[in-house]
Structure 1
Amino acid sequence: MTTRRVTAAGLGAWLVKGNADAVDLAARFATDPRVTSWCVRPGYRSRLMRAGQPVVLWASGSRGRLTYGVWGVGHLTGPAVPGPPGEPWSVPLELTVLDPDDRVPRERLRADSRLAGAEVLRQPQGANPSWLTVAEFAALREHLPPA
């Protein structure tokens, strides 16, 4: 399957992923639900990242242990930057993780025909950042609690 190329005009939101089985994201966010930075892979996508762009936090992991899917929505506060030599790139952001009952499970998103083709569902092993189109992000917002 061909990967769609991200453009500024087609970008609805960036999507950054974390594996909640590899790192205990649930415990980390129970202590402090604020997220101010996330690792991203260098490349053309990271170079498109700008302050003010929406960002979605996607938690992945073993099915059944936790509700995996959208755990938070926020915005970037600056461009992605390289880390020190040998360290990953990161992007500054402002995002608060949703309460567990407000998180949007991937099964609900997969069942929504407007979101079923989202890159994170088609290619879940892809590197950060992933993305949502303008239409996909609009559809996702309908599943989120009121701001």
Structure 2
Amino acid sequence: MNNVFIEAFLGGMLIGLGAILLMLLNGRIAGISGILHGALTSFSIASLWRWAFIVGLVLAPLVASFGGFSLPASLPVDLTTLIVAGLIVGVGTKLGSGCTSGHGICGIGRLSKRSIVATMIFMSSAIVTVALTKFL
């Protein structure tokens, strides 16, 4: 089996474990957009967990690089494209009442109908986008 599949499997398991632990230990859903919004709009001692979560997201790839995992040397797009794409994702997150991680990992795990529908929509959109960009 290819090492990429093992790494993807382990990464998915760690994401799921993190989501479960956040729910069990803190009673919170691990939706990144909600965590970021809460961190930026209300600072208090009770919300320090949000900043710890965000810092962990940033530091995790760096820590993993010490364990032999490689980080990309460069991005395949320019900075302007990256910023525009980020803004589009932010708008979609607001319109969809959450991000892919919140709906796809945590929402489906809680059997939320809204999250199941949202996940079906963004997965369908991704499939169509890849089909259009790869095959046309």
How does the TM-score come out when normalised to structure 2? 0.26
Higher RCO, 1 vs 2 (CA within 8 Å, ≥6 residues apart): 1
Give the structure with higher Rg (CA). Answer: 2
